[in-house]
Amino acid sequence: MLTLKQIRFCLDTMAEMFPDAHCELNHRNPFDLVIAVVLSAQCTDALVNKVTTELFKKYHVPEDYLAVTEEELQHDIRSIGLYRNKAKNIRKLCEDLIHVYGGNVPETQEELVKLAGVGRKTANVVASVAFGVPAIAVDTHVERVSKRLGICRWKDSVTEVEKTLMKKVPEEEWSVTHHRLIFFGRYHCKAQSPQCDICPLLEICREGQKRMKGREKK
């Protein structure tokens, strides 16, 4: 496991590599962001952005998603995985936003997770990006990078990864660290082809060193 000094080195290095790391899901407001993040489950941000380019021209407020049939909404998002279930959840969360929250997206994780299709990760993303609440949302990139580097343990659950990162990363850096970990995992420490040979963190990365030794033996 990395020491706090080594973790600090990782955070600073990622900051140098990806100084402009940010949420790549296109959105105009908190409501759009909720919809985009719900659609992004088990799907790439690039595909979600492709779909929402047209979707957000047609739908602007919660009422718009309820003004059409569920079948029509399914058709509008059909290129996204799990589109039937996502269409159902989107309509249900829109109903709750209208009847429970006066048409506004709640700002806290505690309230956000009450919405249909919104889990802890989604709630953290929305709270952080839309409302500036310090949070670390653990997606596949964040989990993979944290475990490969040795910030977290391989056996840790997603919730345990989140708690460990919150403990070891200064609170004022939670949100930006979330984005930098995603960029690092998406564009550098990729799932299938991590760029270990040119990684500035190789000297302290247990997984990278293991992979490089494996290459040497071939």
CA distance 2 to 87: 42
- Among residues 45, 76, 121, 168, the one annotated as catalytic is 121
Residues 6+ apart with CB under 8 A from 205: 148, 149, 150, 196, 199
- State the alpha helices, DSSP H only, in the chain: 4-17, 30-39, 45-58, 62-66, 70-76, 83-99, 109-112, 120-131, 140-149, 158-168, 174-187, 206-217
CA distance 30 to 118: 13
- Whether 121 is catalytic is yes
- Among residues 139, 155, 190, 197, the one annotated as catalytic is 139
Distance of CA 140 to the CA centre of its chain: 8
Q: Which residues are catalytic?
A: 121, 139
